[in-house]
Structure 1
Amino acid sequence: MPPPPWTLTGRGVVALTPRGVLMLVRYAASPVGPYDELLWAAPSRTPAGWRPQVRSIVVSTRESVVWGRRNWGIPKRLARFAWLGSERASEVRVTAEGGAEVARLGYEVGSWRVPVTTSLLPSPLRTLAQPGLDGAGGWLLTTLEATGHVTPARLAVGHLRGLLPAPPHAHPLLAVGVPEFRLRFPAPDRRATGTKKPPFREVMEKG
């Protein structure tokens, strides 16, 4: 499997809640092929300061599980996704390998589009911070780059009880559809637990 950076394309729905972000994504192309994804991310205190962290995530292919965990410390688990509807309006049922229901959602997206890019966001807001998995230790910091289009959307959450840990129940404050995007995952910056980059003044004095 090719090492990072990886480039992925697809579509999805993103919902902002009082406690974090919920994302439902259909990747059309990636280095491990097409796959579906449901994730919950929330701010976390890390050695680099407060950063978004993927807390709960399920995906539809084993290859995505293996390489997401290995490359970026993303705690992926395998699940099945059943979609009923169209690209603009659909119901989604997510089930675990054993058949238990993980989540049930529905969404509708609009027709007009606005171009967006993550380059307008401060780096800390688009840098994932994930603790090392499977005994790796430390932290993996990954600054994402994405471009695409967004459109108004509505997301109805039936339940997310099977996401582990389960997100706190909250109605979305804002939802947008992302009818097409291009996402780049670079190689992560690996940090030992408890380490921080020196402050700017200290760097200048040592220089």
Structure 2
Amino acid sequence: MAAVLLAGFTTITMSPAAVAAPEHCASDAWESITSTIPEARLTDSMRQQIRKGPDVGGSWDLSSTDGFVIWMMAPRLGGPSLLPKDVADGALPLAKYGFATRYSNTPVGPYNEITGMLSYARLRNPGMFAHSPFMVVDSPETAKNGRNNWGFPKSLADFVGTPRIGETLTAGGDGWSVSVSSKPLLFDIHMSLPEFLGYIQMPEQISFEQPSPACGIKKMRSLRLGGLSGSVQVALITVKTEGSDELRALLPSGVYPGGYITFDHLGFDKPGMN
């Protein structure tokens, strides 16, 4: 994700590890994380399911053989901010992004995910930043660890379908749904990156910002791309969203430019915090 959003602003480091969290957070920090999107807030039933999951810290390696669909949307210029108050001050909206995927291999097993993300800039303490207020999955284990490790407000949803090119993946819950379909436009391009690339490290002025009331603002600025292999295909993405005003503002129904990606060996490190 971050590589797509922040391309052109990265530096390469040969270090075997990226920025680690300088302080320890309790393993129940996930419970305090909330969102501006009602559908991303935990219900009591979700809490009961998530609480049973194991704690998996450290680096995560991900693969997506079924595909990772990404699309870009115009920024929201009017109405209440979709950013939490912890990061909203002085934020100038740049764009919105959506993602739909099935991770085929992760430390907690395979799972589906649909995400909405905001990118923005600041003139005071200049920089480019990203925040995800909506990330739904069908795995209590990744919901717990995504919240604890990165501050993502992962909540649970029911999924049907597949993100594979030409098909549809739908996530839904009580009174809401998001469906994502893709149509290929061009041939796919295969790529493979050498192991020696190690981590791609962004400067401090470029990062994800995910507030965690128990831990501060978690900032992810690195991806491990060494050894990454995959393919990329340009596509048109059709989105159909039903739900709250906030959800429909974040992921509005429409047709958008985007792409379809498959990959192996994408690595995320546990982020630093403010």
> What TM-score results when the alignment is normalised by the length of structure 1?
0.75
Could you tell me which amino acid in structure 2 is paired with residue 13 of structure 1? V
Distance apart, 1:165 and its partner CA = 4.4
Name 2:243's counterpart in structure 1: 161
Ranges in structure 1 where 5+ consecutive residues have no aligned partner:
192-207
**Alignment partner, residue 183 of structure 2:** 108
| 1:201 matched residue in structure 2 | none
* Structure 1 residues 162-181: aligned runs within 5 Å: 165-166=247-248, 167=250, 169=252, 171=254, 173-181=256-264
Structure 1 residues 77, 22: CA separation in 2 closer, same or farther (over 3 Å shift)?
same
Write the distance in 1 (CA, Å) between the matches of 2:245 and 2:155: 9
Amino acid at match of 2:143: V
Select the residue among 182, 189, 202 that pairs with 1:123.
202
Percent of aligned pairs sharing the same letter: 20
Q: Tell me, in whole angstroms, the C-alpha distance in 2 between the residues paired with 1:68 and 1:45.
A: 24
* Aligned pair partner of 1:52 in 123, 130, 142: 130
How far, CA to CA, are the matches of 1:119 and 1:127 in structure 2? 18
By how many angstroms is 1:101 displaced? 3.2
Give the aligned residue type for 2:241: H
Deviation at 1:105, TM superposition (A): 2.3
Q: In the alignment, which residue of structure 1 is the partner of 2:164?
A: 87
Give matches, 1:66-85, under 5 Å.
66-83=144-161
The correspondence for 1:8, drawn from 44, 50, 62, is: 62
* Distance verdict in 2 for CA 1:94–1:45, change over 3 Å: same
Asked whether the 8 Å contact 2:241–2:253 carries over to 1, the reply is: no
Distance 1:7 1:83 in 2: 24
Amino acid in the other structure paired with 1:62: P
Q: CA deviation at 1:173?
A: 4.7
- Aligned residues: CA RMSD: 3.2
Q: CA deviation at 1:161?
A: 3.1
Query: 2:133·2:153 contact (CA, 8 Å) conserved in 1?
Result: yes
Instruction: Point out where structure 2 has 5 or more consecutive residues left out of the alignment.
Output: 1-54, 76-95
| Structure 1 residues 122-152: Cα deviation after superposition (integer angstroms, max 9, x where no partner) | 82697321111xx315210112424432111
Tell me the residue number matched to 1:30: 106
Cα shift at 1:157: 0.8
SS in 2 for 1:66: helix
Q: Which of 188, 192, 199 pairs up with 2:271?
A: 188
Question: Contact between 1:68 and 1:75, CA under 8 Å: does it hold in 2?
Answer: yes
1:175 to partner: Cα distance: 0.5
Match of 2:51 in 1: none
Question: One-letter code of the match for 1:25?
Answer: T
Counterpart Cα distance in 2 of 1:57 and 1:90: 20
Whole-Å separation in 2 of the counterparts to 1:45 and 1:27: 30
Bigger strand share: 1
Q: Is the CA contact (8 Å cut-off) linking 2:57 and 2:145 kept in structure 1?
A: no
Equivalent residues of 1:149, 1:179 under 8 A apart: yes
